Amino acid sequence: MRSSLIFALALPTVWAEQAANFDVTQATADAYECGQECYKALQSTIEYDRVYVGIDFDADFYATAANFSTSKAGDLLKFKPLDPANLTTISGISSYRIQYVSEDYNGTLIPVTGFIALPNTLPADGKFPLVAFAHGTIGTNYGCAISNGPDFADYNMWSLISERGYAIVATDYAGLGNNATTHRYCTFPAHAKDLFHSVVAARQAFGSVLTREWLSVGHSQGGAAVWKLAEDIDSLAEAHNSSEADNFIGTVALAPASRVSDLFKFAVENVLPRDDYYTWATTDLLLFAPYAVQQLYPEFSSTILGDKALKRLGLAKDAQLCANGVMGLALDFEIHMVVYPKQDHTGIVTAAAPEWLRWVDQRFDATHREVLATSECTKVTLHPFHYEYVRSKPEIDLNTFLLN
């Protein structure tokens, strides 16, 4: 049955092109206020994304199938066995790229892509146990599709499942791979639909060798996606007259980014004030927050970011950067914080004068300018020589209640 399906589906002529993580010149970077340090970081981080999602985008496959308009949710639109010679996945699996019909958050039908990975040997009972896999943040541009990467953007994640003998169907999420819509980053009701319909599509490809029972596993963005799937499984099955809710046996949500607005709030309140905040991935991931909101609320003004960060996000869009490249745009942001115990709002001006005036002098001295630019953030507390006796000018005169 599998063979007849494979040969019945016409394989498209390969049309490969680069669709993400384009080369950026220093001159272009400068136009987006991405100077030498920013550009150096970008050149490094962008290479990771090229490894994850590849540079030979299968444009013909990811184009919307001709029969999409006459299809229903869960229908398998395209199916393509992948040449193992072009892959760097773990040994012993067979891989297939798929395109199927899913739904947007508002119920609109949309084409979505993904991949299926089958273990080496069929179990004795003739059925592979089925896992629907949801990946973590990989990017927001359509070229950032895990199904296009040589190892499907594996970071010791889905391969752990495969090594235990499970069949995997992994969605790219709508807007990644196929570009009929934009990627609704962290819109978890939409991601849950992509997962649900990927299982239906996988059964059309390999139904005879997949168990009736299935579960879902996800990490980070995917962790919240499978969480939402577990919440919505009954309503999704009912809406599509499906038995998949009865077949669903559980979910594993690893480091789920559920209630993402609370996570961003937590990061602002608990991560950004830390001395080492710049070492946290959460800090760089904040760059994705405005994009996520704007997919549902286009009028959002992105006030969470400063002008320079907003300008650099334009570079992320024009160069079609994936996750590492976007985060690389923030690695050179440099802020140095110095704390002066006991000093008030006005007293800090003179108490800190030796440090900040020295910094001003050095910025105008070309021999010191590059040395000062460390591309790091620091927080230092300068304690007074004698705390008890150091004068601290009060902000308000307590006798007259006037500002000093």
List, for residues 228-267, the tens digit of each pLDDT value: 999 999 999 999 999 999 999 888 888 887 776 676 677 6
Q: Strand order in 167-171's β-sheet?
A: 76-81, 94-103, 109-118, 167-171, 128-134, 210-219, 248-254
Is residue 206 within 8 A of residue 239, CB to CB? The reply is no
Q: What CA–CA distance (Å, rounded) separates 20 from 324?
A: 12
| Weakest-pLDDT range from 105-114, 272-281, 395-404 | 395-404
**Among 174-178, 216-220, 301-305, 345-349, the range of highest mean pLDDT:** 174-178
* 253 strand-pairing partners: 218
Q: Tens digit of pLDDT for each residue in 25-66?
A: 999 999 988 888 888 888 888 888 888 888 899 999 999 999
What crossing angle do the helices spanning 307-318 and 288-296 adopt, rounded to 10°? 70
Give the residue-averaged pLDDT of 380-391: 80
Q: Choose between 275 and 226: higher pLDDT.
A: 226
pLDDT at residue number 6 = 35
Q: What CA–CA distance (Å, rounded) separates 326 from 317?
A: 9
- Nearest alpha-carbon partner for 249 in 191, 208, 187, 199: 199
| Weakest-pLDDT range from 175-189, 218-232, 256-270, 389-403 | 389-403
- Count Cα neighbours of 365 within 13 Å in the Cβ-side half-sphere: 10
Q: Choose between 82 and 385: higher pLDDT.
A: 82
Listed in sequence order, the residues at least 6 apart from 70 whose beta carbon sits closer than 8 Å to its beta carbon are: none
- Other Cβ atoms less than 10 A from the Cβ of 304: the count is 15
Q: What CA–CA distance (Å, rounded) separates 106 from 332?
A: 39
For 215, phi then psi, to 5°, come to -140, 175
- Nearest alpha-carbon partner for 317 in 182, 212, 206: 182
Q: Tens digit of pLDDT for each residue in 317-357?
A: 777 787 777 777 776 666 666 777 877 655 766 777 787 66
User: Would you say residue 367 has pLDDT above 70?
Assistant: no
Q: What CA–CA distance (Å, rounded) separates 333 from 346?
A: 27
* 338 strand-pairing partners: 380
Domains assigned to the chain:
54-254 (3.40.50.1820), 338-403 (no CATH)
**Which sign, positive or negative, has the C-alpha torsion 264, 232, 171, 11?**
negative
DSSP 209-255: GEEEEEEEEEETHHHHHHHHHHHHHHHHHHHTT-SHHHHEEEEEEES
Listed in sequence order, the residues at least 6 apart from 82 whose beta carbon sits closer than 8 Å to its beta carbon are: 95, 96, 97, 115
- pLDDT tier for residue 12 given thresholds of 50, 70 and 90: very low
pLDDT at residue number 189 = 94
pLDDT at residue number 195 = 98
Q: Tens digit of pLDDT for each residue in 105-161?
A: 999 999 999 999 999 999 999 999 999 999 998 988 999 999 999 999 998 889 989
- pLDDT tier for residue 288 given thresholds of 50, 70 and 90: low
Instruction: Write down the mean pLDDT value for the chain.
Output: 82
- pLDDT tier for residue 96 given thresholds of 50, 70 and 90: very high
User: Would you say residue 399 has pLDDT above 70?
Assistant: no
